[in-house]
């Protein structure tokens, strides 16, 4: 009798320490959080990103591609409570800066991430240095967290592709000899 009550008391103590005390969390000032229950993000009804002002800037063929569910965003503060079957995904929403030549998948590329090289239309080689400033949008956290495996790598690849395409179509202006 004493052994079984001791085991039960030990289990209750373990449960309280393991699940109840670790169920409280906070969200920092420069963070936002999304809660998932059994892997499904808590959503805002049937709202999608097409219901936001951002959708007005999209072309008709882009609407389907950028239709992501709106999720309930947990703002800074706390302590908040979550059940053991819920998971909290935190995202920094502060503006961050990264070198535009940095390749997050291959750090040795682009002169070890210091210079991005491109070729112009008239076959001139050029080296580019600069920075990209970005931040995760609160209005589209579903795509950032669950839609793309590596959102920063994806964004950097898109930026570099557009930049190289613009430079490849550039022609140096003709100068008139004096």
CA diameter of the chain: 107
pLDDT score at 110: 67
Please determine, for residue 15, whether its predicted confidence score (pLDDT) is greater than 70.
yes
Percent of the chain with pLDDT over 70: 96
State the pTM of this model: 0.75
CB 127 within 8 A of CB 116: yes
Alpha helices by DSSP H, 34-150: 109-113, 141-142
The predicted-structure confidence for 106-144, as pLDDT tens digits, reads as follows: 777 766 767 788 888 878 788 888 888 989 988 889 989
Please choose, from the candidates 95, 97, 100, 122, the residue with its C-alpha nearest in 3D space to the C-alpha of residue 113: 100
Give 70: exposed, middle or buried? Use CB within 10 Å, 0-12, 13-18, 19+: buried
Please determine, for residue 145, whether its predicted confidence score (pLDDT) is greater than 80.
yes
The residue range of the domain holding 117 is 24-168
The domain total for the chain is 1
The predicted-structure confidence for 62-98, as pLDDT tens digits, reads as follows: 888 888 899 999 999 989 999 989 999 999 999 999 8
Q: Does residue 122 lie in a domain region?
A: yes
Q: Does residue 175 lie in a domain region?
A: no
Joined together, the tokens standing for residue 137 give 């949008």
Joined together, the tokens standing for residue 122 give 């008239």
The residues near 7 (Cβ < 8 Å, ≥ 6 apart) are none
pLDDT score at 169: 85
Q: Does residue 5 lie in a domain region?
A: no
Q: Does residue 87 lie in a domain region?
A: yes
């Amino acid at each position: 009798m004493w052994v079984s009550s001791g085991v039960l008391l030990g289990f209750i103590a373990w449960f309280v320490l393991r699940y109840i005390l670790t169920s409280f969390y906070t969200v920092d000032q420069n963070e936002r959080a999304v809660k998932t229950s059994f892997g499904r993000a808590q959503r805002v009804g049937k709202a999608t990103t097409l219901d936001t002002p951002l959708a007005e800037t999209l072309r008709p063929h882009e609407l389907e591609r950028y239709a992501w569910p709106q999720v309930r965003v947990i703002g800074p503060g706390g302590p908040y409570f979550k059940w053991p079957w819920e998971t909290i995904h935190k995202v920094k929403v502060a503006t961050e800066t990264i070198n535009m030549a940095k390749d997050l998948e291959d750090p040795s590329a682009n002169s070890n991430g210091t210079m991005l090289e491109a070729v112009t239309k008239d076959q001139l080689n050029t080296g580019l240095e600069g920075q990209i400033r970005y931040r995760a949008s609160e209005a589209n956290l579903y795509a950032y967290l669950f839609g793309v495996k590596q959102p920063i790598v994806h964004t950097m690849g898109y930026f570099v592709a557009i930049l190289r395409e613009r430079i490849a179509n550039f022609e140096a202006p003709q100068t008139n000899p004096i």
